[in-house]
Structure 1
Amino acid sequence: MFLARQEKDVNHHCSSPHSARMRTHRLLLRAFATFAMVLGMAAAGSATVAADVVMDTVPVGNGPIGIAVAPDGKRAYVANNEDDSVSVIDTGTNVVVDTVTVRDAPEGVAISPDGSFVYVANALDETVSVIDTGTNVVVDTVTVGDTPQAVAISPDGSFIYVANALDDSVSVVDTGTNMVVDTVTVGDTPEGVAISPGGSFAYVTNNFDDSVSVIDTGTNMVVDTVMVGNGPQAVAITPTGTRAYITNTVDNSVSVIDTGTNMVVGTVTVGDDPRGVAITPNGKRTYATNFGDGTVSVVDTGPNVVVDTVPVGNDPLGVAITPTGNRAYVANLGDGTASVIAIDQ
Structure 2
Amino acid sequence: MENECTDEAILRRALGYPYARPDTSFVFARGRPWLLTRAAVLAAEALFCAPDTSEHKAPEWSDMRVQPLPWEHNLRGEPQYADPVGLDEVLGHGWTQSMAEDDALADRIPVLAIGSNAAPEQLARKFSTGSEVVVVILVRLYDYDIVFAPMVSAYGSVPATISRAPGMYCDIAVTLLSRTQLVRMHATEHAYTFVRLNEPRADVLHSKMQAAYSVSRPLYVYVQSDGALAVLPTLTRSDSDVGRNNSPIGLAEICASGSSPAPFPRATQEEIQAALHALLYPDEAGTPSKPDRTRLSARIIERVKSGPAHRQEICALLAARHCVPWFLSTNSATREYDIVCVPGASE
- Higher strand content, 1 or 2: 1
Per the normalisation by structure 1, the TM-score is 0.24
Which one has the largest radius of gyration?
2
Larger relative contact order (CA 8 Å, sep ≥ 6): 2
- Higher helix content, 1 or 2: 2
Per the normalisation by structure 2, the TM-score is 0.23
